[in-house]
C-alpha cells in the first residue's frame, strides 16, 4: 500500500488548529485502513520554552528572526524524523509558519534568508506533495481569540485577518496547493470531513487547487 500524503493544518493563531489535528488523529486511529499518522505538534511552544522566548519576542524584529529561524529548523527536524522511519504525519504547523511570521514582523531581507534556506527548500517540497489546509481567521470567529499566556495575540480582528492573508499569499507565491477551511465551519466533525475531502483529492492527484478569495 502506498504511503498516504501528509496533512498540514496551518494558519494564524487561535483558528482551531490543535483541536482539529487531535480530532483528525482520532479519526485515523479508529477508521482508516492506513497506519495511523504521527502527530507533529507543539514545535513552536517547545522552541519558545527551550530557548526562553516569549510571545512578545515575535514582534521584535531581531528576536523574532532568531525565533523563527529556530522554529524552521525544529520543524524540519521533526518532519525528517517522521519520514526517515517511513511514517506519514499530520502537523499543526509547517515550515511556512515561521516564514509567514517573519514576513509580517521582520524586515523582508531577513525573511528572505529563511525562504532561501536549505530547511525551507526541503520543507517546501514536502508540502507540495501534501494536503495543506489553512484555518481561516475572520470576523465570524472573533470569539475564538483567547489568550493562553503563551502565543502572540493579535491587536484586533483586522490584525488577525491580515496574518491569515500573509499565509495565503506566501503559499501561493511558493506554488503550494492549499485550501482555506472557512471559519463558519465550526462543527468539529464537519471540519474533519473538510480536511478528509482535501486529503482524498490530493491522494487522487487531482488538478491544482486555485485559491483566490482570502
Task: Please give the pLDDT value at position 206.
Answer: 46
78 contacts 37 by C-beta, under 8 angstroms:
no
pLDDT in tens, 63-92: 999 999 999 999 999 999 999 988 999 999
pLDDT in tens, 155-168: 788 999 999 999 99
Own/partner contacts of 75-79, CB < 8 Å, gap of 24 or more, are 75/40, 75/43, 75/119, 75/123, 76/119, 76/122, 76/123, 78/40, 78/43, 79/40, 79/122, 79/123, 79/126
d(CA 182, CA 134): 9
d(CA 50, CA 52): 6
pTM for the whole structure: 0.90
202 contacts 211 by C-beta, under 8 angstroms:
no
Amino acid at each position: 500500500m502506498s504511503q498516504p500524503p501528509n496533512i498540514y493544518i496551518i494558519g494564524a493563531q487561535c483558528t482551531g488548529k490543535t483541536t482539529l489535528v487531535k480530532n483528525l488523529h482520532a479519526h485515523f486511529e479508529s477508521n482508516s485502513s492506513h497506519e495511523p499518522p504521527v502527530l507533529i505538534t507543539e514545535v513552536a511552544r517547545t522552541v519558545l520554552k527551550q530557548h526562553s522566548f516569549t510571545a512578545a519576542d515575535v514582534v521584535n524584529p531581531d528576536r523574532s528572526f532568531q525565533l523563527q529561524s529556530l522554529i524552521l529548523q525544529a520543524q524540519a527536524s521533526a518532519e525528517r524524523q517522521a519520514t526517515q522511519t517511513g511514517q506519514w504525519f499530520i502537523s499543526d504547523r509547517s515550515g511556512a509558519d515561521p516564514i509567514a511570521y517573519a514576513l509580517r514582523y521582520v524586515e523582508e531581507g531577513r525573511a528572505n534568508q529563511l525562504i532561501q534556506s536549505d530547511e525551507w527548500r526541503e520543507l517546501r517540497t514536502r508540502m507540495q506533495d501534501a494536503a495543506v489546509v489553512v484555518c481561516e481567521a475572520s470576523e465570524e470567529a472573533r470569539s475564538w481569540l483567547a489568550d493562553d499566556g503563551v502565543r502572540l495575540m493579535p491587536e484586533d480582528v483586522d490584525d488577525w485577518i491580515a496574518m491569515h492573508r500573509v499565509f495565503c499569499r506566501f503559499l501561493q507565491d511558493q506554488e503550494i496547493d492549499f485550501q482555506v477551511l472557512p471559519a463558519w465551519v465550526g462543527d468539529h466533525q464537519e471540519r474533519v470531513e473538510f480536511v478528509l475531502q482535501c486529503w482524498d483529492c490530493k491522494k487522487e492527484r487531482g488538478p491544482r487547487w486555485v485559491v483566490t478569495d482570502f
